[in-house]
């Protein structure tokens, strides 16, 4: 039996075993990363939806009221940022 172990050592079995173990560790970390990214994606989608809805409520409440140009510019800027956030998460 020792000759088998010697042959495996000669063939680099220990390195193969280490490589396999490292591969399993990497795959485990990738799985954790995927779960984390899915959670972040979900939160971004929720935040984007809520922000866009709140901006629309504000626009609806303002109706066709005259607001100062600075306020209109600020509203447009916020809407653009919300849309940029919404574009991060593709609509599926």
- Residue-wise pLDDT for 52-78, tens only, equals 888 889 888 888 888 889 988 988 898
Query: CA 42, 55, 53, 43: dihedral to nearest 10 degrees?
Result: 10
**Is-contact 47 85, C-beta < 8 A?**
yes
CA distance 2 to 23: 28
Q: Which two tokens stand for residue 83?
A: 């849309």
Count of domains for the chain: 1
Q: Which two tokens stand for residue 66?
A: 């005259």
pTM over 0.95: no
| Per-residue confidence band for 27, with pLDDT thresholds at 50, 70 and 90 | very high
Structural domain harbouring 20: 2-88
């Amino acid at each position: 039996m020792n000759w088998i172990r010697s042959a495996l050592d000669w063939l680099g079995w220990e390195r193969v075993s280490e490589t396999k173990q490292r591969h399993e560790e990497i795959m485990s970390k990738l799985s954790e990363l995927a779960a984390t990214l899915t959670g972040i994606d979900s939160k971004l989608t929720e935040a984007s939806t809520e922000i866009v809805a709140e901006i629309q409520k504000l626009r609806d409440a303002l109706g066709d009221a005259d607001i100062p140009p600075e306020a209109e510019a600020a509203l447009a800027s916020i809407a653009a940022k919300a849309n940029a956030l919404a574009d991060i998460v593709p609509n599926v």
